[in-house]
Amino acid sequence: MVATLWRVITLSLAFARQLGGQCQRIVTERILRKMSAYPKDLDQGWRRRLRSRVLRWYDQNGRKLPWRESADPYRIWVSEIMLQQTTVAAVVPYFERFIERFPDVRRLAEAEQDQVLHLWEGLGYYSRARNLHKAAGVVVHEMNSRFPESADELEQLPGIGPYTAGAISSFAFNRPAAIVEANTLRLFSRLIELDIDPRGIQGQKKLWKFAGWIVSRKRAADFNQAVMDIGSQVCCPVDPKCSTCPLMPSCKSFEQGRQSEIPLKKPKPKITDVTEVSVAVRKGGRYLLRQRTDSERWAGLWDFVRFEVRDEDVVTVQMPERRQTKGPAALPGQQSLFADDSAIALSQLPPSLSARVNDLTGTMVRSYEPVTEIRHAVTRYRIRLLCLVCNFEDGRLKQGAGYQWCSRNQLRELPLSTTGRRFAELLDACR
């Protein structure tokens, strides 16, 4: 079936070529329309007008951002990886610190992974940092420190997907590569009035094809920056600013009054509530930490003893008065960390929690001080994290579990998760 279709297309194009350029264009567009969901009136005239509106807007409104000041593929790559899942405002200070510490790909490749993760602390999605570090090694050792120019080659590097490859290829080398990310996904879906899920396989195919079709051949870098900016600043998720939008005359959703229903929403994931305990086991001035493994959330970061707790582990504790004024995440006076169990003294750790700490680390702890409760979300989990500090009483560190005693200075240097860092800062402030 596919072979037959391909043969028909090839023959049609060959026939059209014989008749001349104009005819070839018409046949190509007809085939394109048949294979896609573009509205019928998207032709080369529509595309020409769209491109000139986009570029005119960019010449007057393009944002000045630290990574746009040069066409250095290294800076563009770092910024694009940071910008995944994160806002521009949040990324700017991270980007500047990162570039100051690792000004080129060679310096990044030479760094220890811990140093890279430490600079990434707070940005989240730490696999991005690990892959960045890995890819720097490949560029330096296998490509003589030169980034490839084509999106296809860039995609071979660790952590570089189709969007990042297209962004580097177009922004750094001005190649007409397609890009689709959150902002352009919304903008393109509205421009062509895409009536299917833009995140599904078919929707993605159509959007990527459309992105490759409209990108300017001469000013690919400016064009792609511009559509991302228009998507984020004008064609907003809620209440798009259609009345001031430079692309309004080209927009099929606006024409049909459907801009608030497109792109079609994806179903909301079911949220699961989870309670976890983070225990800072203390011995003298040192705490027990381990580096999280590749198969875990926040791989490569360091953490206190942390585990999920179930209903039977719960008790009620009174937060000490002095915690009220300590640190940004200090708790109010009465804080219900666990469900009621009056048989357990305030300072005594429930046996099930004590057993879990012993099982994970080999150490014995019996009493605890509550430090804080942190609520946060990871993907579809809503997590309530109870942070306790316990004095080491007995036992030997379990072999192979990866735990080690870390001084407070090490605690400041090691890369921690955002919640781990908040906990560590409170421990510092409480002493």
Question: Minimum distance from CB of 113 to ligand SF4 (Å)?
Answer: 41
Residue 256's H or E segment, with its range, is helix 252-256
CA 134 to chain centre: 17
42 part of the interface to ligand SF4, by CB under 6 A: no
Q: Which of 146, 199, 217, 241 binds ligand SF4 (CB under 6 A)?
A: 241
183 part of the interface to ligand SF4, by CB under 6 A: no
How far CA 345 is from CA of 135, 348, 356, in Å, comes to 53, 5, 19
User: 57 near 249, Cβ under 8 Å?
Assistant: no
296 carries an active-site annotation? no
Q: Does 198 sit behind a cis peptide bond, omega within 30 degrees of 0 on the bond before it?
A: no
- Phi and psi angles of residue 275, each rounded to the nearest 5 degrees, phi first: -110, 130
Q: Is 286 helix (H, G, I), strand (E, B) or coil?
A: strand
Question: Minimum distance from CB of 201 to ligand SF4 (Å)?
Answer: 24
Which of 198/240 has CB closer to ligand SF4? 240
214 part of the interface to ligand SF4, by CB under 6 A: no
248 part of the interface to ligand SF4, by CB under 6 A: yes
51 part of the interface to ligand SF4, by CB under 6 A: no
Which of 264/401 has CB closer to ligand SF4? 264
Q: Does 415 sit behind a cis peptide bond, omega within 30 degrees of 0 on the bond before it?
A: no
Question: Minimum distance from CB of 249 to ligand SF4 (Å)?
Answer: 9
**How many chain residues bind ligand SF4 (CB under 6 A)?**
15
Stretch that binds ligand SF4, among 242-250, 297-305, 315-323, 355-363 (CB under 6 A): 242-250
CA distance linking residue 165 with residue 375, whole number of Å: 35
Q: For residue 379, give the amino acid letter.
A: T
242 part of the interface to ligand SF4, by CB under 6 A: yes
Dump the DSSP string for 68-116: GS---HHHHHHHHHHHTTS-HHHHHHHHHHHHHH--SHHHHHHS-HHHH
Q: For residue 32, give the amino acid letter.
A: L
Which of 187/365 has CB closer to ligand SF4? 187
210 part of the interface to ligand SF4, by CB under 6 A: no
Pick out residues in 254-273 that bind ligand SF4 (CB under 6 A): 254, 259
Bridge partner list, 389? 280, 369
Which of 164/253 has CB closer to ligand SF4? 253
Question: Minimum distance from CB of 196 to ligand SF4 (Å)?
Answer: 17
Please report, as ranges, the residues that interact with ligand SF4 according to CB under 6 A.
187, 190-191, 234-235, 240-242, 245, 247-248, 251, 253-254, 259
Q: Which residues are catalytic?
A: 80
